[in-house]
Amino acid sequence: MKALREAFGETLVELGEKYPRLLVLDGDLANSTKADRFEAAFPDRFLEMGIAEQNMLGVAAGLAHLGFIPWLSSFTVFFTHRALDPLRMLVAQTHANVKIGAAYSGLLTGYTGKTHQDVEDLAIMRAMPDMVVLAPIDAVETRAMMHWACEYQGPVYLRLTRDPSPVVLEAAYRFEPGRVLELRQGRDVALVGTGPQSTRLLEAAKALAREGIEAGVFHLGSLKPLDEDGLLEKLRPYPLVVTAEEHSIYGGLGGLVSEVLSAADPKRVIRIGIEDRWGESAPNDWLLDRYGLSAPRIAERVRKEVES
Amino acid sequence: MILETDARKELERLAKITRYLILKTVHQSGAGHVGGPLSAVEILIALFFKVMRIDPKRPDWDDRDRFILSKGHAAVGLYTVMALRGYFPVSELATFDKGNSRLQGHPDMTRLPGLDISSGSLGQGLSAGLGYALGAKLAKKDFHTWVLLGDGEIQEGMVWEAAHVASRYRLDNLTAILDDNGLQQYGWRGKGRGDRRDPWDALPPARIFEAFGWRVIEIDGHDFEQILSACEIARKGAPAERPTAIIAHTVKGKGLPFTEGKHAWHSKVPSSEDLQRALEALGLDESEVPR
Ligand SMILES: Cc1ncc(C[n+]2csc(CCOP(=O)(O)OP(=O)(O)O)c2C)c(N)n1
Ligand SMILES: [Mg+2]
């Protein structure tokens, strides 16, 4: 188990060694996002921007156009909502080389409630031209994606989470943009996830196997770009597809998979996620259960859909 | 304003109880903020028990004063004072942050009657307060609107957008109270409280509010008499015909030796031992604390 934000903080330090032009800009949250590790290692390349996220996005654009590589540290919601206009106009529309470390994504944001639980970020960021949208499954993929992002020229949105989650990829894993990962082979149903939710799908698949339902599990860490042909090919054998995400059922992973399938290989797609409502503050297990995202709730839903 | 000795003692007793209940509630839920709620205790008590025209039994009363906790992460402090004031039972504090609770991690007006706005994303409360104050003028109502801000929070540009318009409309029915506790969550390294610099060390917020055309009153935010006097002046409005900013100098984590001035206590869960230490520091016995 390891939290993605821990991997974020550690990898920033690693990348700081490798890229002298890498900077970290923080919105008064470095001790939450773990960007404070970078400040400890490179105090002069850590720029505190205070509680003023719109300004931070503008500053990042300016620095990027001078050849710096700014990595930003704040909570997801303050990037995709508070700072959305400068993010769009100054960063995305100028193709600025800014890397957005969106800590505290999804539902499990440490009892903060609906103000901080961003259930719309994927819909917003996916729809934004020029933006790369990544949601790592674990600490290993977080690190791999960050290494890739430093080599890529352009804005990257990295969807991180707060609390520890299972590490499922091998340490040698190399990230390739667009690639769909097959985590488990199946026959009756394809489960498609993004971020650490994909690990809960693996767990659900194991439970289903005990009941004779063979579920394939796929992880889309790279929501944009996406290898659409690869996704179609992997999903082709399956009669039923179930997507699950810590996000609204509108416009996120479920939307993406439905869009791709409907154009080339129409079939039933069940989207599990937040059903047009806000989150709330509560313990993680309670939330996952409430929104149907825990492994047992996923298994229950899949069972019902397979049988119907 | 001169407080009778008994009245002051009663407010001070409430402050101690509030401080203990803040710690206990965060301890029980396993999450929440501590430093910011503790610095605002006297301000919240003064407002809810003395200053504001409110009726806990009628939270939707049209003519009530409006209160906006712009620094929404201090929710647990607000809930505690509201419970002590009679908006809901003190026992309900135990549901803080639990599933289905009316007491969300940040104030949610769609769940809890008595809240005049939802907050949590910093820097937005003054704008909503401005709306209430402008609306009161348009509707010819004489209620006052009080907005509690954090000193880190006012780094958000939106605060100054509101400050500008409030001054343009000469809104003497709007008061911003700044909980000027000298710390934010992480902030800048350097000398200040502990190893962190004051959010505004080189540029005192009083000067900024003044530049925006507000009347400014500076007080010790832990001294009830000073808070009450400042609020009285603010409410009178005329002859100022300007919005008022009360700059309340406070200490983050005030009241407990182990939390005072420590930025690590911005959000941290107190242990059972901490609760014990808190009782001792406050000179309280569990039996004096309402449940
Ligand atoms: C727009 C926004 N950015 C960041 C945060 C995260 N955050 C919560 S509290 C806090 C520090 C607030 O400092 P201050 O306003 O001084 O409050 P206090 O010291 O009274 O706790 C931060 C950065 C937030 N809630 N909203
Ligand atoms: Mg402060």
For residue B194, is pLDDT > 90? no
Q: What's the total number of domains in chain B?
A: 1
3-state SS record for A208-277: HHHCCCCEEEEECCEEECECHHHHHHHHCCCCEEEEEEEEECCCCHHHHHHHHHHHHCCCEEEEEEECCC
Q: A67-124, pLDDT tens digit by residue? A: 999 999 999 999 999 999 999 999 999 999 999 999 999 999 999 999 999 999 999 9
Comparing C-alpha atoms, which of B181, B184, B174, B83 is closest to residue B128? Answer: B174
Ligand that comes closest to the CA of residue B253: 1
How many whole angstroms from A152 Cα to the centroid of ligand 2? Answer: 38
Q: Which residue of A has its CA nearest to B153?
A: A51
A56 Cα to chain B: minimum distance (Å): 11
Task: Check pocket membership of A82 for ligand 1, CB cut-off 6 A.
Answer: yes
Give the integer Cα–Cα distance in Å for A66 and B96. Answer: 47
Give the integer Cα–Cα distance in Å for B110 and B128. Answer: 15
Contact A93, A130 (CB under 8 A): yes
How many whole angstroms from B266 Cα to the centroid of ligand 1? Answer: 9
Give the integer Cα–Cα distance in Å for B263 and B182. Answer: 10
How much is the pLDDT for B192?
A: 84
Contact B35, B263 (CB under 8 A): yes
Which residues, numbered 181 to 210 in chain B, qualify as contacts with chain A under a Cβ-Cβ cut-off of 8 Å?
A: 184-189, 199
For residue B1, is pLDDT > 80? no
Contact list, B149 vs chain A (CB under 8 Å): none
Q: B230-279, pLDDT tens digit by residue? A: 999 999 988 889 999 999 999 999 999 999 999 999 999 999 999 999 99
State if pTM tops 0.90.
yes
Contact B102, B92 (CB under 8 A): yes
Atom of ligand 1 lying closest to residue B40 CA:
20
Ligand that comes closest to the CA of residue A31: 1
Give the integer Cα–Cα distance in Å for A184 and B283. Answer: 60
Residue B113's domain comprises 5-288
Q: A129-152, pLDDT tens digit by residue? A: 999 999 999 999 999 999 999 999
The domain that contains B96 carries what CATH number? 3.40.50.970
Task: Check pocket membership of A29 for ligand 1, CB cut-off 6 A.
Answer: yes
The residues pairing with B145 across neighbouring beta strands, listed in sequence order, are: B66, B174
Comparing C-alpha atoms, which of A102, A234, A124, A216 is closest to residue A179? Answer: A234
For residue A216, is pLDDT > 90? yes
The domains found in chain A, sorted by start residue, are: 4-159 (3.40.50.970), 181-303 (3.40.50.920)
How much is the pLDDT for B237?
A: 82
Write down the mean pLDDT value for chain B. 97
Torsional sign, CA B206, B212, B216, B221 = negative
Contact list, A117 vs chain B (CB under 8 Å): none
Ligand 1 site-directed mutation target among B34, B70, B71, B259, most atoms within 8 Å of CB: B71
Could A78 and B187 be called an inter-chain contact, meaning their C-beta atoms sit closer than 8 Å? no
Q: A250-272, pLDDT tens digit by residue? A: 999 999 999 999 999 999 999 99
Q: A44-56, pLDDT tens digit by residue? A: 999 999 999 999 9
